Amino acid sequence: MSIPSYWRSRQQRLALAGEVCPNCEAKLFPPRDICPHCGGPAKTRFDFCGRGTVYSFSRVNAAPAGFEAYAPYVVALVALEEGPLVTAQLTDIAPEDVYIGMPVEMVTRQMRREGEEGLVHYSYKFRPVMERVQG
């Protein structure tokens, strides 16, 4: 099974949870509880839409041990529609097809479950937004 079809079959739509500052309304991701813009407390949850554009990117040809099957891949800085920049791996695209300004959307999957309490870890990646086919 190819990696893209694996992702398509396993992906789940989950919120990209951050925070919003009640004072200056800055959107924060990842959540940090203190607004970097005004220094005030920011603990109000805000769900990002998960869409954005590629702000910058780099191709990774040598993957860490255990992830060799995924190389080469692209790690991008994604500018979310709401403003914050998120670093994440891109998926469902050939590394040579990535470009600055490319529209992307978040996909997530469960990574692993830990212990009896079932603490679940999620990982998110971004994939190209599918272009509408005309006609």
Residues near Zn ion (CB under 5 A) are 21, 23-24, 26, 35, 37-38
Minimum distance, C-beta of residue 61 to Zn ion, in the bound complex (Å): 40
Which amino acid makes up residue 92?
Answer: D
Contacts of residue 35, defined as CB under 8 A and 6 or more positions apart, other chains included, come to 21, 23, 24, 26, 28, 41, 42
Minimum distance, C-beta of residue 25 to Zn ion, in the bound complex (Å): 7
24 or 129: CB nearest Zn ion: 24
19 or 92: CB nearest Zn ion: 19
26 or 104: CB nearest Zn ion: 26
31 or 103: CB nearest Zn ion: 31
72: cis peptide before it, omega within 30°? Answer: yes
Half-sphere exposure of 72 (CA within 13 A, CB side): 10
CA distance 27 to 16: 12
Minimum distance, C-beta of residue 36 to Zn ion, in the bound complex (Å): 8
